[in-house]
Chain A
Amino acid sequence: MEKHTLNIAKVAAGYSRKPIFEGIEMSVLSGQLTSIQGRNGSGKSTLLRAIAGLTPLLHGSISIDGRSISEMSAVERSTHIGAVWTDRTRIQGITVRELVSMGTYNGAWVKTGLSKDQHIEHTLALLQLTALAEKSTAEISDGQLQQAMIARALAQCAHFLVLDEPTTFLDYIAKEELMRSLKLLARKTQIGIIFSSHDLDIIQAFADATYELSEGKLTRLNTI
């Protein structure tokens, strides 16, 4: 499978031209789980939003396979990076299948060689959502909704997935299950996953590379 690299070089980002962090250097490989830990307000979410192309950089660059994400159109960027944010977005009136199919908007599913419906089926199966496909997103548990949101991002066929505190609303069993399925997913599909978390046990058990964001600086803690 193709290998991809996400490279963050000398990045500074923030609001009202005031940097929350600066000099960020980070390299993320496909097929790995990379974690970012840090206290509340340390800028983890801003960094993830910058990686997803939603927060403009004050300095530096973020590139995938040597191509800067700021030069990409919204559609092209979505074929490189998918995201799941920490808010509990729960909309009624759509089924799990409809939610996952939203991810096919960018058209990248054509490179899978499957039909659109087959691709959606395959993505649902990857996250064990086949049985829930016709259920309303309002009827499923928090853990299942999180899986469905991840499946939606996977349906984009992106090389990297940004997850902002993916285990926040989950109980300890659902947390472990989610992280285990993410690890399996990364190995199986070679997608690179970058996630933020407060949960040091989860990070220690599942992350391949660990970073800490503190006082505006990012430090690499270990490589397993």
Chain B
Amino acid sequence: MPTYKNLLLWMVLAVLLMLEIGLGTAGITVAQVFEALTHPQSAPIAHSTIIWDSRIPRTMAAALAGASLAWSGMLMQTMFRNPLAGPSMLGISSGASLGVALLVLSGGTFIMSSELGYMSIAVAAIIGAFAALALVLLVAERISDQPTLLIFGIMLSFFTSALVDALQSQATNESLRSYVNWGLGSFADCDHRENALMAAGLIMSLLLTRAILPRLNLLLLGEQYAGTMGIDITQTRRLMMVITGILAGITTAFCGPVSFIGLAVPHVSRRLIASADHRRNLLPTLLLGAILALFCDLISRLSALPLNTIASALGAPFVILLMLRWSRFKSMI
């Protein structure tokens, strides 16, 4: 990738990071933000708390979640050779949703108020995401046809949605609100510990990605070619699903099911660098994911609208454009 485009992305990311930390509804001036950042001990405690315990964790969560979702989207699109594949496919997000719904809607609300309760949502989401992933892996061993596997993932999403709907119809108002809040997606509730876990998941996924990076380009030709070029298809598929599961599962657990970033960013990255080469797309995809998530979160904060509302409002026109130019995009993956 040309250095200037790389540099440009880093610069945009830096500006958005500053805006995310600097802007807000609390009426803190730029000078006060700077003071809270550089001298947290001497700055007014309210300012330090807002900056260090609210805005910085939220900013870090947005950047980490955006990067994670974007790379998992890239892997999904390569694996299925389908430009509309994303982390929400394969039932991973819906598995996470079902996990949370089972916990929150079936009477688990009493633990919601405690700190342990909040972590239990994340655990439920991760268990749900990996249960869905395990099911898909099991089916993938029997179905070698990628479109069929994709349809299976979509059907799994429908099925889990039906279960969630059933749970919702029986739930109390309070638990329903908790679930709906999680479902709207937000980076606001992430603290430093959760960010550390998301960072650990991202680093682990990138290390696993390193092991399969040279194989990913070969998969662009499809499995029947990759299979004759020295790639163990079953093992590669398994690894790709595990990486996607870690990235999408952990992110969904802490931030809720955040839509569109995983679908949209890989396309923007490939267009930006005019190449489908995964080695060249890795860094721009991660940076663009972080940029898009920060941008959506910034608008969400300033407009007081939920994150997924903003992401969908931006994402839906993008997907329509994608459909209209389907053939052109299809040939890019």
Q: A-side interface residues toward B, CB under 8 Å?
A: 49, 52-54, 73-75, 77-79, 81-83, 85, 87, 89-94, 98, 102-103, 105-107, 138, 153, 156, 162
Contacts and interface: CB of A to CB of B under 8 A. Distances in A.
A191 to B, nearest CB: 14
Name the residue in B222, B328, B331 with the highest tally of chain A Cβ atoms < 10 Å from its Cβ: B331
Name the residue in B224, B228, B232, B277 with the highest tally of chain A Cβ atoms < 10 Å from its Cβ: B228
Q: Which 4 A-B pairs have the closest CB atoms?
A: A93-B276, A106-B230, A78-B230, A75-B230
24 contacts: A49-B224, A73-B232, A74-B232, A77-B228, A78-B230, A83-B228, A89-B221, A89-B225, A90-B331, A91-B221, A91-B331, A92-B328, A92-B332, A93-B270, A93-B277, A94-B217, A94-B277, A98-B217, A98-B277, A105-B214, A105-B218, A106-B230, A107-B230, A138-B331
Contacts of A74: 227, 230-233
Interface in B279-328: 328
B332 A91 contact: yes
Contacts of B328: 92
B138 interface: no
A54 B227 CA distance: 7
Interface in B251-285: 270, 274-277
B230 to A, nearest CB: 4
Contacts of A54: 224, 227-228
B130 to A, nearest CB: 27
Nearest to A93: B276
Contacts of A94: 217, 220, 275-277
Interface of B: 214-215, 217-218, 220-222, 224-225, 227-233, 270, 274-277, 328, 331-333
Contacts of A82: 228-229
Contacts of B275: 93-94
A103 B226 CA distance: 10
B277 A105 contact: no
Name the residue in A82, A85, A92, A103 with the highest tally of chain B Cβ atoms < 10 Å from its Cβ: A92
Contacts of B227: 52-54, 74
A144 B204 CA distance: 41
Given A91-B331, A93-B274, A52 B228 contact: yes
A79 to B, nearest CB: 8
A15 to B, nearest CB: 11
A77 B232 CA distance: 11
Contacts of A78: 228-230
Nearest to A158: B228
A105 B227 CA distance: 12
Contacts of B231: 74, 105
A74 B224 CA distance: 12
A84 to B, nearest CB: 8
Nearest to A164: B224
A162 B229 CA distance: 12
Contacts of A90: 331
Contact of B229 (A91, A92, A98, A105): A105
B220 A156 contact: no
Nearest to B144: A54
A98 B221 CA distance: 12
Given A85-B225, A92-B331, A105 B232 contact: no
Contacts of A162: 228
A122 B215 CA distance: 23
A89 B214 CA distance: 19
Nearest to A94: B276
B332 to A, nearest CB: 5
Given A75-B230, A94-B220, A105-B230, A83 B225 contact: yes
A92 B220 CA distance: 10
Name the residue in B221, B225, B332 with the highest tally of chain A Cβ atoms < 10 Å from its Cβ: B225
A55 B108 CA distance: 50
Given A93-B270, A94-B275, A85 B224 contact: yes
A106 B277 CA distance: 18
Contacts of A102: 217-218, 221, 229
Contacts of A92: 276, 328, 331-332
A94 B211 CA distance: 22
